[in-house]
Structure 1
Amino acid sequence: MTSFYKGLEAYILENDSLRLTFLPQYGCKLASLVAQKTGREFLFQSSLEKLSIPPYGAAFSDYDSSGFDEVFPSIDACPYPCGPWEGTKIPDHGEVWALPWEVTFTQGENRIQSVVRSSKFPYVLTRVATLQNNEVLFAYTVENTSDAEFEFIWTPHCLLACSPATRLLIPPELNQVMTVEHSTQHLGPWGTLHTYPLTNSVQGHKIDLSKTEPVSAHNCEKFYFTSPNTAGWCGIEHTDTHEQLIYTYSAQEVPYLGVWKTQGGYRGDYNIALEPCTGIYDDLYVAHKIRRAAKIAPRAKRAWNLKMTVR
């Protein structure tokens, strides 16, 4: 059905298990993901009562910073690294979160198809979201419309509501991380390595990185696991109620995993994010230099899936 959410038109996918709210005018953002039986909102909600639609190239922090935005073809603002578009600026958090999408809402099938095109770069990104039982499947296809290879980073910028009872669920073979957040003092400067989940801060304090600190910690963390996530899953558990949100995806197409936490440190916000991604580390220019960017051959397509399951 159609509705309104914080002043914007909204499309609702809903069944007995889940209620999803998409904003077709706002990059087709997933603004809300609610478990019907418990009423739990899994996505972080900002305090804004009305949302404004960002213009192309906007700074991400100047706008909503909640829910699930698509990030493509880079996370950090940077120049495109190579080929015919070398030096062309990619905006903060990429292009597509602040671009208009062509949206087709098939209510009877609990399905939303969204398509976005760039005016600067040669791609068409298509996402089909389908709700079935306690799962939502996001199927992605990106087409390179040019005669040159195209490189990119994609990640789901899905900010999750959290509390001190929230724990990360990570495959056990992932046991080392590298910090990439410059404002993080307790984990050291960019590139500092830590064992996961148990480590020591640079001040010598013991830390469990799988846990969520209270908002009073006033810190931020962003780290990447140093090994590919060959298991193709990750998730969170709210240990007070034992509710879980699990991501599953193609480990071959989406090999890397990052984690973001703002425990009161960024604008006072309190949220975490699991960020399966096609390249590292946040910056497409860097990813190209270290040969960790995803690539699409000329006139070709790449496809991948992300499934979110609420348990």
Structure 2
Amino acid sequence: MRGPGLRAEVHAGRGARISSLRSDDGFEWLLASRPTVSAGPGQPFVREGMGGWDEVAPTVQADAGLLDEQGKPVPALPDHGDIWNVPWTVGRAAPDELEMSVDLGSLPIRLERRISATGTGLRLDYRASTESPLPVPLLWCAHPQFAAGPDTTVALELSGKPVTPLLVEMYPGQGAVRSFPVEPVHGTLGPGTSLKVLAAARTTVDAAVLCHGGGRSLRIGWDPAALPYLGLFWDNGEFAREPVLAVEPSTSWGDRLSAAVRQGMALTVAAGAPLEWALDVSSTTVLK
């Protein structure tokens, strides 16, 4: 896939993962992705799964707490969901457009994704649909694992203006409130540690800008009405082989779908009422 300033490589057989995202000058934004021992559900995500830009749904952390419409337990949802390591069906495939789809294994939802070239880079369009007449909750989040150096920062925006929302720690602590960091975070993390936070509920953000020292930046934009929640993740070698930073706009708040449902912060899909959302990705290089 090619768009102005960006080139993406996609592996349909391994969860439609974007294994490479490069600027025109060859700069690689993503941590190198290594395939798991075999494709299919049940493979461990940590270490083997880390790297690249994969698709996470219908939960991030393994979740055994979801109930169906009759109040009966749903079989446990696997770590990082159903679809990150299974083959997707390829529809249209062209240098400037790539359409794929997959059926979730644990919930009656079909997810479709189209990557297309835009005037500024690449656009990822998503559609989640179901034949269920009753609402089915969905936790989808973007899961790009960007390679991060000691000077890598992330800035958040709303309508082109910077915002610094309060953050709620999810890991390693639970519930602690943090200020938004304006300095690089990896320099404050010890080796073998990581930090996962969520933008506080009722926070509105529509873009994140990843900056590398030397003048490189990557912008991800979205509609906050379609993706009302946002997670940020810094890993300094606890789960990935090398430091990574993940920007995770999401359809639900948190890392477990059942918790989001209990809190009333999970979007749902029903027959005739699909969910649709999109991400616009562009890069800028002003080398110093």
Cα deviation per residue 1:80-136 (whole Å; 9 max; x = unaligned)? Answer: 33325742221110111122210124325x111011013442111100001235411
Question: SS where residue 18 of structure 2 aligns?
Answer: strand
Among 254, 259, 281, the alignment partner of 2:254 is: 281
Cα deviation per residue 1:234-289 (whole Å; 9 max; x = unaligned)? Answer: 1211122x111111111001011111111133354311101111111100011011
**1-side partners of 2:186 and 2:256: how far apart?**
26
**1-side partners of 2:16 and 2:240: how far apart?**
24
1:201 maps to what in 2? none
Deviation for aligned residue 1:76: 1.0
**1-side partners of 2:211 and 2:241: how far apart?**
23
Among 38, 48, 54, the alignment partner of 1:69 is: 54
Question: SS where residue 14 of structure 2 aligns?
Answer: coil
Which stretch shifts more, 87-96 or 54-63? Answer: 54-63
**Structure 1 residues 93-132: aligned runs within 5 Å:** 93-108=80-95, 110-132=96-118
Q: TM-score, normalised by structure 2?
A: 0.88
Higher RCO structure, 1 or 2 (CA under 8 Å, sep 6+): 2
Question: SS where residue 13 of structure 2 aligns?
Answer: coil
Contact 1:134–1:309 (Cα < 8 Å) also in 2: yes
Contact 1:144–1:298 (Cα < 8 Å) also in 2: yes
1:203 maps to what in 2? none
**Structure 1 residues 1-311: aligned runs within 5 Å:** 13-14=1-2, 17-37=5-25, 39-46=26-33, 48=34, 52-61=37-46, 63-79=48-64, 80-83=66-69, 86-108=73-95, 110-171=96-157, 172-182=162-172, 189-197=173-181, 208=183, 210-213=184-187, 217-240=191-214, 242-311=215-284
**2-side partners of 1:267 and 1:102: how far apart?**
28
Alignment size in residue pairs: 278
Structure-2 change in CA distance of 1:248 and 1:16 (3 Å): closer
Deviation for aligned residue 1:213: 1.9
Aligned residue type for 1:25: G
**Fraction of identical pairs, as percent:** 22
Contact 1:150–1:298 (Cα < 8 Å) also in 2: no
Deviation for aligned residue 1:154: 0.7
Structure-2 change in CA distance of 1:264 and 1:120 (3 Å): closer
Which stretch shifts more, 115-124 or 139-148? Answer: 115-124
CA RMSD of aligned residues (A): 2.2
**2-side partners of 1:228 and 1:245: how far apart?**
25
Larger of the two Rg values belongs to structure: 1
Cα deviation per residue 1:3-44 (whole Å; 9 max; x = unaligned)? Answer: xxxxxxxxxx1356322110011011000001122x210011
